[in-house]
C-alpha cells in the first residue's frame, strides 16, 4: 500500500504574518496520509518552529547541486537537513524553464538531496507544444532517465515523483484524471517492479473540486499543490480527500 502524500508548494508568496496565519490553519494530519509544505527559504525556520509538534513535514522548493563553497545565493542540502527539512522539490518546471535547469543539473540536485537524507520530490512534465506533438511520454522518459542514469533506479524509486504537465500549472487547466493516470501508469512501467511502492503525485491546478477524481486513479498517490496550498481551508480539503 502506498501512503498518499499531499505537498503544498507555496512558491514565492508570503510574509511573516501571512505565513503564521497559513500555518495556523493547516489541517490535523490523519495517520494514513503524509502532508508537507514548501515555504520560501527564508520562512522555513518559522514554519518548522510552528509545526514542531505536528506530523506535517517541511521542505524546500529548490537546493544547490553543490555541497558547499563559493556559490553566492545558493543553499546546500546539508543546510536544509541541519535546520530540520525532510523534503526538497527538485526540477520543478519553473526552475527548468525560467532558470535554465538542465536534466543533468536536476539529476545532480537529486543526488545532493538524497546524499543528505532528504526525500526529493522529482518533478517531470511536458509543455503544451510537446503534448500536441505527441511527445509527452518521450519527454517524461527523458527527464526520468537522466536522473535514473545519474542516481540509479533504486534511489529514484525511493524518492517521490511528481507529474506536472507544464500547461496545467497555475493555468486553471487540470489534466483530466484519465490523462494524468495514463502518464502515471507510464512512469510506473518505466520504474518496473522496483517502483511498485514509489509515490507518484499529480500537480497542476489541483483544487478540492478536482482532487477526489485524481486521487481515485490507481497510480496517483497524492498531489503537489501550488496556488490552492496558499489557502489553508482549501489545502485541508485536498488533504482530507487523499
Ligand atoms: P498550481 O501549481 O497548483 O498552482 O497549478 C502546481 C505546482 O507548480 O506545483
Residues with a CB atom less than 6 Å from ligand 1: 9, 164, 169-170, 203-206, 224-228
pLDDT for residue 29:
84
Distance 224 CA to ligand 1 centre (A): 7
Percent of the chain surpassing pLDDT 70:
100
Mean pLDDT, residues 168-181 taken together = 92
174: pLDDT strictly greater than 90 = no
157: pLDDT strictly greater than 90 = yes
- Pick from 161, 226, 237 the residue to mutate for probing ligand 1's pocket: most ligand atoms within 8 Å of its CB: 226
Distance 113 CA to ligand 1 centre (A): 22
Chain mean pLDDT for the chain: 97
According to DSSP, residue 166 is labeled G
Mean pLDDT, residues 54-71 taken together = 97
Q: Fold for 5-241, please state it.
A: TIM Barrel (3.20.20)
Identify the active-site residue in 101, 116, 164, 234.
164
164 classed as catalytic: yes
167 in Cβ contact with 127 (< 8 Å): yes
pLDDT for residue 28:
86
Mean pLDDT, residues 75-95 taken together = 98
Mean pLDDT, residues 64-80 taken together = 98
Nearest atom (ligand 1) to Cα of 224? 9
Identify the active-site residue in 92, 101, 126, 184.
92
Q: How far apart are CA 27 and CA 29, in angstroms?
A: 6
Percent of the chain surpassing pLDDT 90:
95
Q: How far apart are CA 162 and CA 106, in angstroms?
A: 14
152 in Cβ contact with 114 (< 8 Å): no
Q: In whole angstroms, how far apart are CA 121 and each of 85, 88, 129, 177, 233?
A: 13, 6, 25, 21, 24
pLDDT for residue 31:
78
Nearest atom (ligand 1) to Cα of 123? 9
88 in Cβ contact with 116 (< 8 Å): no
Nine cell digits for residue 171 = 493555468
- Residue 38: half-sphere exposure toward Cβ, Cα within 13 Å: 25
Distance spanning both ends of the chain, measured CA to CA: 13
Q: What is the DSSP string of 121-142?
A: EEEE---HHHHHTT-HHHHHHH
- Pick from 224, 230, 235, 237 the residue to mutate for probing ligand 1's pocket: most ligand atoms within 8 Å of its CB: 224
Quick: pLDDT tens for 41-57: 999 999 999 999 999 99
pLDDT band for 195, please (50, 70, 90 cuts). very high
Amino acid at each position: 500500500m502506498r501512503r498518499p502524500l499531499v505537498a503544498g508548494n507555496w512558491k514565492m508568496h508570503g510574509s511573516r504574518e501571512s505565513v503564521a496565519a497559513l500555518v495556523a490553519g493547516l489541517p490535523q494530519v490523519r495517520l494514513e496520509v503524509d502532508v508537507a509544505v514548501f515555504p520560501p527559504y527564508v520562512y522555513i525556520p518559522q514554519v518548522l518552529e510552528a509545526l514542531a509538534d505536528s506530523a506535517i513535514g517541511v521542505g524546500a522548493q529548490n537546493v544547490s547541486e553543490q555541497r558547499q563553497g563559493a556559490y553566492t545565493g545558493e543553499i546546500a542540502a546539508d543546510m536544509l537537513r541541519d535546520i530540520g527539512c525532510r523534503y526538497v522539490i527538485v526540477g520543478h518546471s519553473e526552475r527548468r524553464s525560467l532558470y535554465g535547469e538542465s536534466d543533468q543539473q536536476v539529476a545532480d540536485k537529486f543526488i545532493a538531496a538524497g546524499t543528505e537524507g532528504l526525500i526529493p520530490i522529482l518533478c517531470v512534465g511536458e509543455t503544451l507544444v510537446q503534448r500536441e506533438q505527441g511527445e509527452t511520454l518521450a519527454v517524461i522518459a527523458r527527464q526520468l532517465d537522466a536522473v535514473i542514469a545519474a542516481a540509479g533506479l533504486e534511489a529514484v524509486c525511493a524518492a517521490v515523483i511528481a507529474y506536472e504537465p507544464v500547461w496545467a500549472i497555475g493555468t486553471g487547466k487540470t489534466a483530466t484524471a484519465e490523462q494524468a493516470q495514463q502518464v502515471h501508469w507510464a512512469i510506473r512501467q518505466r520504474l518496473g517492479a522496483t517502483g511498485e511502492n514509489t509515490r507518484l503525485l499529480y500537480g497542476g491546478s489541483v483544487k478540492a473540486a478536482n482532487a477526489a477524481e485524481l486521487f481515485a486513479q490507481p497510480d496517483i498517490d497524492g498531489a503537489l499543490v501550488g496556488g490552492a496550498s496558499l489557502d489553508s481551508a482549501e489545502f485541508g480539503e485536498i488533504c482530507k480527500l487523499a
